[in-house]
Amino acid sequence: MIPCIWFVSREVSSWEQAIISSMAASLRARGGDVSLYVDGGTAELAEACSWRALTGLERAGRILGRGGLWHLWGNAPSWWWLIRLRFRTVHTSFEEKTVWKGYPSRLFPELAREGETVLIPTFATRGAADNAQSGLHVGGATPLDALRAASLTMRGLVVAAFPSPCLDAILGTDGYFHVSEDSEEAWRQALEVVASEEGRRLAASARHYLKEHCSADQCADSLITLYRRAMEGRTEGRRA
């Protein structure tokens, strides 16, 4: 498997970093050679190095060094053009509108409106609780809201939200409490439900659905397929 260098931009939030860390772990478990750098703190990224902590010579060594493929997560740094001169690049963006700086990919089908390759995310089961004691309130769930909900669901929270195709796709229709209207009474009822036995059932259903549809193996397969396409020079979506 070709060596990969992952670069996570400073704009990527901590919960997005947690997903990236889980995805890197899935690829490493399949024997992937992944070097992970983040332009900021590394609290949510296991086995990652801080790009800011490197010296100028160390950074230059990474940029000009060994061959492989670079995978950009988020926004490109000012020096990214140097990488693109030397290496094939893949770009995964969390934003609705993006100027692509490599082979384009998304983490959710609803965002892949221009034919970008869709990666299957995977989520770590860190701190997941057997008894659900808190609920994550989501209004009109966007694709990114759904990803955040899935990440926190694996940590034991129960989602209460308006019915959403995005949440249905990633948590399953029985994986969250459906709020009927945006009123104080409706949200009070949601809080009561998520703290009850029904809340625990919803949380268990969501985690089971995620494990079935966003497993580490499925994630690794999607990454390997993406990298093969990028290295073969196959076009998909709009390139920058």
Give the model confidence (pLDDT) of 14-35 as tens digits: 889 889 999 999 999 999 999 9
Neighbours of 158 (CB within 10 A): 30
Contact at 8 Å (CB) between 127 and 156? yes
First to last CA, the chain: 26
Contact at 8 Å (CB) between 21 and 52? no
Domain ranges of the chain: 4-120+216-232, 135-213
**pLDDT score for 237:** 43
Q: What is the DSSP string of 215-230?
A: -HHHHHHHHHHHHHHH
Which tens digits make up the pLDDT trace of 147-206? 999 998 888 889 999 999 999 999 999 999 999 888 999 999 998 998 899 999 999 999
Top-confidence residue, 90 or 143: 90
Chain centre distance of CA 106: 9
Q: Interior CA angle at 223 toward 220 and 229, to 5°? A: 140
Model confidence band, residue 46 (pLDDT cutoffs 50, 70, 90): confident
DSSP H or E stretch at residue 91: strand 88-92
Residues belonging to the chain: 240
Look at the pTM and tell me if it is higher than 0.95: no
**pLDDT score for 69:** 93
The average pLDDT across 227-235 equals: 79
Which tens digits make up the pLDDT trace of 73-114? 999 999 999 999 989 999 999 888 889 999 999 998 888 888
Structure token digits, residue 6: 């992952």
> What topology does CATH give the domain 4-120+216-232?
Rossmann fold (3.40.50)
Chain centre distance of CA 158: 19
Distance (Å, rounded) from C-alpha 133 to C-alpha 149? 15
